[in-house]
Amino acid sequence: MDHKTLLLAYKDALATQRWDEVAPLIHEDACFIFSEGTYLGKAAIEPAVRATFDLIKSERYAIKDVVWTYVHEDSAACTYGFEWSGLIEGQPASGTGRGTTVVVRGGERWQIIHEHLGPSATSSP
């Protein structure tokens, strides 16, 4: 697995809406920043991710326009746009945003150490 494969594996793991599929891809010391808060360490990230799984049913999540801004043999960083859709309380819901992810390699294993998801940038006239 390399940094690009890790990002694709993460997207696929999120699609399962199962923490046990997502957890191996996240570093123990990771920092995740979402619109509702900052989560330091895998133990803090788990309930935040599970809450999203519980809130959005039948979620479809897509990552697009990935730009790897830094790539080194043991770390890499990228930015991307994301889109999601699913059901919240039985009603269709969707959204878009942008993300930044930093991944690190320990031995042959790549993991996510930082993720920041937020709203899409507003365009200027």
Spatial distance between the Cα atoms of 120 and 99, rounded to a whole number of angstroms: 9
| Residue ranges per structural domain of the chain | 3-118
pLDDT at 121 over 90: no
Bridge partners of 21? none
pLDDT at 123: 62
pLDDT digits (tens, 9 = 90+) for 96-116: 999 999 999 988 899 999 999
Does the pLDDT of residue 124 top 80, yes or no? no
Q: How far are the Cα atoms of 46, 54, 115 from residue 41, in angstroms, in the given order? A: 9, 21, 12
What is 3-118's CATH number? 3.10.450.50
When pLDDT is averaged across residues 7-22 and rounded to a whole number, the result is 95
DSSP state of 90: T
Residue 55: its H or E element = helix 42-55
